[in-house]
Amino acid sequence: MGYYHTVALMLFLHFTTRRLVSQVYCGLKTASAKKQRTCYEMARPSSNMAEFREIFAKAKHITIITGAGVSAESGVPTFRGAGGYWRKWQAQDLATPGAFAKNPSRVWEFYHYRRELMMTKHPNPAHIAMAECEARLNRQGRSVVVITQNIDELHRKAGTKHLLEIHGSLFKTRCTSCGNVTANYKSPICPALAGKGAPDPDAEDTRIPVEDLPRCDDCNGLLRPHVVWFGETLDSDVFTEVEKELEICDLCLVVGTSSLVNPAAMFAPHVSARGVPVAEFNMQSTPATDKFRFHFQGPCGTTLPPALARHETELIS
C-alpha cells in the first residue's frame, strides 16, 4: 500500500473513531453505487460570488486549504505532470527516506536548488489576500487559518500568522542523529552546495562527500530537510491542529489544489459532508468539485482577492 493511501486510511479511521465523518462514511464504505450516488450527488457548484460573499460575511471560523496552484502563480515549479522533472528525476524519485539514504548528496542538491529558487520568489495577490483577510477578521473576533500543503513559506512571507504547514518547510532542517529541528535560511545552506543543484538534465551527477553536507550544530549529525517525504507520516501535533480546525470551521476555501493528494484531498469533502459551505478556487475542476457549494474558475490571484475583500457589512476594516 502506498504512503498516501496508508495515511488516507489512517485519517479516515481516525475521523470515524471520533465521529467526525458520519456523512462522509456513507460515501467511503463498501456500498452499492446507488447508495454512494445518493450520498454524494449534489447540484453543480455555484459561481455566484455575491452569494459566497454573503456567507463569508457571517462566517466566524474560516479554514483555507491551499496547494501547489497558489505557489505556481508566483513562479514556483510544482514538479508534477508533464515537464515536472528536476534533471531526469521527478520529486517522488528524490523525496523519500530511501533516496536520501542511498544518495544524500543528490537529494540535498535538489532541495538546495529549491531553497535558492524560493529566495527569489514573492507572494502573489492570493497569498496577500489571505494574510490581509486574517489580520482584518482577527480584529473583529473572527478567525482564519491556512492549512497548506506547500513547503515554500510564501504564506509566511505574505504575513499569514495562523498557518499549519502539513508537509513541513524548505527552510527547516532536522538532524538525522539527535532529531533537532531548526529554522535555516542560510544561502547556501553549506559551502559544498554553493553553485550546485542546477536543474539542467545534462548536469553532472557528482556526489558531495557526506561529511561536507549540512551538519547539525549540536551533534554534527547529518541534517535533512524537515519536510514530509513519501513513505513518512504527518506530524501528529500538526495533524491534531488540522483536525480541530476542520471540526469548528463554518466556511472552508480550497485554493489551488488538485484534490488528488491524500490526506489533504479528504479535508474539504469531509467538511462539506457535514453541511459546511466549501468554495473551490482553481484553474479547473477537480475530482472533488461536485461535492462543494461553490467553484470559482481561474487564477486564484485574480479570483480570491475580491472574494476575501472587506464586506460592506463589516464594522471594522
279 labeled binding residue: no
pLDDT of residue 287: 92
Cα–Cα dist 8/173, whole Å: 26
Query: What cell does 28 get?
Result: 467511503
Q: Is 259 assigned a ligand-binding role in the annotation?
A: no
From the DSSP assignment, how many helices (H) and strands (E) are in the chain?
A: 13, 9
What pLDDT was estimated at residue 83?
A: 59
What 56-60 contacts at long range (C-beta under 8 Å, 24+ apart), as own/partner pairs, is: 56/251, 56/307, 56/308, 56/311, 57/311, 57/313, 57/314, 59/142, 59/250, 59/251, 60/141, 60/142, 60/143, 60/250
CB half-sphere exposure, 89, CA atoms < 13 A: 17
Q: What is the pLDDT of residue 9?
A: 41
According to the model, what pLDDT value does residue 80 have?
66
Q: Tell me the pLDDT tens digit for each residue of 241-267.
A: 999 999 999 999 999 998 887 888 999
Hunting for cell 489576500 — which residue is that?
129
pLDDT at 39: 37
Q: Which helix (H) or strand (E) holds 181?
A: strand 181-183
pLDDT of residue 8: 44
Catalytic residues: 167
Asked if residue 160 belongs to a known ligand binding site, the reply is no
Q: In which residue are the cell numbers 454573503 written?
A: 54
Q: pTM for the whole thing? A: 0.86
Contact of 151 with 227, CB cutoff 8 Å: yes
Please report the pLDDT score of residue 202 as a whole number: 84
Q: What is the pLDDT of residue 91?
A: 86
**231 labeled part of a ligand binding site:** no
In this structure, are residues 201 and 249 in contact, taking their beta carbons and an 8 Å threshold? no
Tell me whether residue 69 is annotated as binding. Answer: yes
Q: Is residue 178 part of an annotated ligand binding site? A: yes
Does residue 304 contact residue 129 with C-beta atoms inside 8 Å? yes
Query: In angstroms, rounded to a whole number, what is the distance separating the alpha carbons of residues 284 and 296?
Result: 9
For CA atoms 157, 65, 284, 292, give the dihedral sign. negative
Tens of pLDDT, residue by residue, the chain (317 residues) = 444 444 444 444 444 334 333 333 222 222 233 333 333 445 689 999 999 999 999 999 999 999 999 999 999 987 765 557 898 898 889 999 999 999 999 999 999 999 999 999 999 999 999 999 999 999 999 999 999 999 999 999 999 999 999 999 999 999 999 999 999 999 999 999 999 998 888 888 889 999 999 999 999 999 999 999 988 999 999 999 999 999 999 999 999 998 887 888 999 999 999 999 999 999 999 999 999 999 999 999 999 999 999 999 997 65
Instruction: Name the β-bridge partners of 294.
Output: 46, 279
Helix (H, G, I), strand (E, B) or coil at 225: strand
Q: What is the pLDDT of residues 26-75, one digit of tens each?
A: 222 222 333 333 334 456 899 999 999 999 999 999 999 999 999 999 99
DSSP 127-144: HHHHHHHHHHHHTTT-EE
- pLDDT for the residue numbered 317: 54
What pLDDT sits at residue 181?
Answer: 97
What does the pLDDT read at residue 315?
A: 77
Residue 190 labeled ligand binder? no
Which position has the grid cell 496508508? 6
